[in-house]
Amino acid sequence: MSSMAVRDYIKSNFLFGNDGGISDDTSLLEAGVLDSTGVMELVAFLEERFAITIRDQDLVPDNLDSIRQIAALVDRRLEA
């Protein structure tokens, strides 16, 4: 469920409603979908939408580079 919410948010806010062929494993950083400002906007969305806290140590590309990695981070934070 978190991956669909993440995909919808990215599609609406960064891709202007067109997913542009972005898969769940596409590097959002390499594809130019997210930059540092976009990452902070995404983190604010995740914290509000899922009522979680993203810690400073979570702010690494391994957690935020693809829809799949972002959804996995959300799932881990929900379990914590």
Instruction: Supply the pLDDT for residue 16.
Output: 83
Count Cβ atoms within 10 A of the Cβ of residue 9 and give its class: 0-12 exposed, 13-18 middle, 19 or more buried: middle
Tens digits of pLDDT across the chain (80 residues): 688 999 999 999 999 878 778 899 999 999 999 999 999 999 999 999 999 999 999 999 999 999 999 999 999 999 98
At residue 6's C-alpha, the angle toward residues 27 and 42, to 5°, is: 80
Contact indicator for 54, 43 with CB cutoff of 8 Å:
yes
CA distance 29 to 75: 21
Distance CA 21, CA 38 (A): 19
pLDDT confidence of residue 65: 94
> 47 CB contacts (<8 Å, ≥6 apart)?
53, 54
pTM: 0.91
2-79: CATH architecture: Orthogonal Bundle (1.10)
